[in-house]
Chains A and B, each alone.
Chain A
Amino acid sequence: MMASGIWWLASYPKSGNTWLRAVLCALISGKPADINRLSLLGGFAGSRSLFDAALGIESAALSRDQEFNLRPRVFEVMAAEAARPLYCKTHDACQATPAGEPLFPTAATRGAIYVVRDPRAVAVSLAHYQARPLDEAIAALDDPDAVSGGSTRRLSHHLRQYLRRWSEHVASWLDAPFPVHLLRYEDMQADPHAAFGAVAAFLGLSSDGAAIAAAIEATTFARLQAQEHAGGFIEKPHHAAAFFREGRVDGWRQALTREQAERIAAAHGAMMRQCNYDTQLGPLTARRGAA
């Protein structure tokens, strides 16, 4: 493995990746994180401009398969040219390219933090983020061809990223051929000091309690939300009202109908239980009817 290498900060979309990056930014820099400069950690694996710069070619002139097949080369170039370890966000499932090689080359990889969040909460957050009906977001979680970015109608800043089904996404990272630290969003909320302390230890960063406490204090949900209100957030899609919307662990209990929650549990129950999510519903507080 090279001296630098990439730590992947991986998650299904809307699972807490931005919060993780904000805390890491604050921890590494010792300063409050600027939400519009999180890419200083190492960039976004799905970035089109990063692809073009690393390979010296316009991805816009390539076919989808060519683009996908070349992505491992991008990560190799990034790792080889970095003077320090990189911390790169990704929403891709950990998978093979159409040419059959790993999308995330082990030689360029140090390891991964995988952030997992209750898929019932992910569905609600995704529906707001993508300004689409809840039932569509729930269907997307169970779509084996689910993708993020890379519309055919326009050129996106993001390359097409293949998410797969939510359960497959989680499994793909847990089975990755390099060290992976599983981080539950709910644990980040319940005991951030313990959760981020474990992250820092896994990454070999300072696990000094005061430094971690300061990083957490600098990146509370209210502070991140206030930054977005004040100066916008470059990762917010144009059609979404806000990126930092609610951030609650159990908000899905008010947002989902029983039938919707049961549909998610039926599709992903095995992986939910593996990740320690209770698939028994208990009381749902607000919605009764169909979505």
Chain B
Amino acid sequence: MSYAYRLAALKIESDLALPDLSPWDGSGISEPDISFRLGAVPPRLHEPDHSEAIFQTRGRDEYLLVLPGTGRILVRHGRQVTVELEHGADPINTCALLTGPIQAVLWHQRGLVPLHANAVVIGGRAVALAGTAAAGKSALAATLARDGHQPLADNLCVLDDAGKTAPAMVLPGVALLRLWRDTIEHLAIPADGMASALSGRDRFLVDRWSACREPRALAAVIVLVRRSSVALTIERLSGITALGALRDMVQMRRPASALGRSSEILGCLTRLLVVAVPVWRLQLPDDVSCLSDAAAEVLGALEQP
């Protein structure tokens, strides 16, 4: 059985169910842009350029992930994903891998820049809420969505700066928000019937807000830094500090570097600053009760000239 999904404007065909993604709603006969197929995957690439702890790359077009407990996943040319699962591999966690880290590798191979960020639509434009794992990106995006700001992407925010001189466009990503139980309870979201986003953990796929389905121009990047004992503050970054903060937010940086993308990515991020996309650092305490105030800080910052 094969499934068809939409990711941005792309058609995905998959041998595996990927419930994070939206069903394909376009033409039934169109060729897929990306395929996820079950099949044999070699344990090693032929003459890899980079061989790291759990992945190898060859040129820009081949990436092999060897992940005990799941299996082997080969990504080629930004179009073909071949998955050889180990016996007993968990389907929910496999989906999380394919729509998370593997999706990021696909975008890198396609020449776009995936940020480790959620995106929401504020004033008709995209605002990226970036941060490393556990920074509170999805929780803040859900808080803004509750207040009427449409989600655009969850955890992976793809920048397309083909225009080079205009602000980059943010492509619509996974339409659902993947939220942890403490956020769901804090926002009083009814949890009945929610699908699990990760086996063995209280993380759920939340389909509560209508997501934006169109690309939006990037208006700002908010870099979230969540720490246990800090006050809620927001500050504008500039110059090399802003560039460094943006570079740290690139999804799958290590594989991207192995795929030879570092200078292209630096060019894209530098252009963001050249066209004056503001970059803010939002420092927030490790407590869900601060989320409404954090959302207010973001909205306040965006109103500044």
Binding site for B on A (CB under 8 A): 48-49, 52-66, 69-70, 73-74, 76-77, 99, 152-157, 232-238
Contact = CB atoms under 8 A, between A and B. Distances in A.
A77 B134 contact: no
Interface string B116-141: 00000000000000001110000000
Contacts of B226: 157
Given A48-B133, A52-B133, A63 B93 contact: yes
Contact of B182 (A58, A99, A153, A234): A153
Contacts of A152: 181, 200-202
Given A62-B93, A66-B70, A234 B53 contact: no
A14 to B, nearest CB: 15
Interface stretch (B11-19, B251-259, B294-302): B251-259
A153 B181 contact: yes
A229 B110 CA distance: 49
Contact of A236 (B183, B228, B258, B287): B228
A150 B177 CA distance: 21
B285 interface: yes
B96 interface: yes
B100 interface: yes
B198 interface: yes
B93 to A, nearest CB: 5
Nearest to B98: A61
A43 to B, nearest CB: 14
Given A153-B202, A234-B227, A236-B229, A56 B253 contact: yes
A61 B97 CA distance: 6
A56 B252 contact: yes
Interface stretch (B61-69, B168-176, B212-220): B61-69
Contacts of B33: none
B134 A155 contact: yes
Given A58-B100, A63-B93, A152-B201, A238 B69 contact: no
Contact of B93 (A53, A61, A238): A61
B31 interface: no
B199 interface: yes
B90 A63 contact: yes
Given A53-B254, A153-B180, A238-B228, A64 B200 contact: yes
B230 interface: yes
20 contacts: A48-B132, A52-B132, A55-B54, A55-B254, A56-B258, A58-B252, A60-B100, A60-B134, A61-B97, A63-B198, A65-B69, A66-B69, A73-B53, A152-B201, A154-B134, A154-B180, A154-B181, A155-B133, A157-B134, A234-B230
Contact of A56 (B54, B90, B100, B198): B54
A233 B93 CA distance: 35
Contacts of B198: 60-61, 63
Interface centre among B54, B70, B228, B253 (most CB of A within 10 A): B228
Nearest to A99: B68
B88 to A, nearest CB: 11
B199 A56 contact: no
Q: Which of B97, B226, B286 has the most CB of A within 10 A?
A: B286
Nearest to B65: A57
A57 B253 CA distance: 9
Contact of A232 (B93, B203, B229): B229
Given A56-B254, A62-B93, A153-B181, A69 B69 contact: yes
Contacts of B93: 61-63, 66
Nearest to B90: A63
Contacts of B59: none
Contact of B53 (A54, A61, A154, A233): A54
Nearest to B228: A238
A243 to B, nearest CB: 8
Given A56-B253, A58-B101, 12 more contacts: A52-B132, A58-B100, A59-B133, A60-B198, A61-B93, A99-B68, A153-B181, A154-B134, A157-B286, A233-B229, A234-B230, A237-B228
A67 B142 CA distance: 27
B55 interface: yes
B32 to A, nearest CB: 23
B52 interface: yes
Nearest to B136: A155
A235 B138 CA distance: 23
A265 B280 CA distance: 53
Contacts of A77: 52-53
Contacts of B202: 152-154
Interface in B272-300: 285-287
Contacts of A62: 67, 69, 93, 97
A178 B205 CA distance: 45
Interface string B219-263: 000000011111000000000000000000000111100100000
Contacts of A156: 134
Nearest to A65: B69
A59 B258 CA distance: 19
B187 to A, nearest CB: 13
Contacts of B90: 63
Contacts of A232: 229-230
A155 B54 CA distance: 23
Interchain residue pairs A-B with the least CB separation, the first 9: A56-B254, A73-B53, A232-B229, A66-B69, A61-B100, A154-B180, A155-B134, A153-B181, A154-B182
Contacts of A64: 200-201
